[in-house]
Amino acid sequence: MTGSMKINCIICFVAIIGIACLASVEGTGGPCWKSTPDNEAMKLAPCGTAAQDENAAVLDSCCAQVKVIGQNPSCLCAVLFSNTAKSSGVNPKVALTIPKRCNFAHRPIGYKCGRKFQL
């Protein structure tokens, strides 16, 4: 190999590694692991009525999904304030009561979701 060909190969190798690293960082940068809050909000479809009406029954399937997503409280908060939740008519103040209404002994979040999401 000539010198310039070696340099081109090295540059291509470095570029490929750089692109792979950026893709890896981009996938884990949000509050919801490798997903987006909007994608996670879709999983909470069984909670639709319970997130709009504090007197509505909370389905077991809703409690199961809240428990899974609630393992990461910042993700659950981001989901409650996501565009998908807003367009679905979710009332964040009511939605925050779902863990209590599911009778979780150790609720994943309280009544506030950090400064960004204070109600």
Global pTM value:
0.67
What is the structure's pLDDT at 114?
Answer: 60
Ramachandran category for residue 47: left, alpha or beta (phi over 0 → left; psi -120 to 50 → alpha):
alpha
What is the structure's pLDDT at 72?
Answer: 87
CB 84 within 8 Å of CB 38: yes
**What is the mean pLDDT for each group of 10 consecutive residues in the chain (119 residues)?**
48 34 46 91 94 96 93 88 92 89 75 54
What is the structure's pLDDT at 57?
Answer: 95
**46: DSSP letter:** G
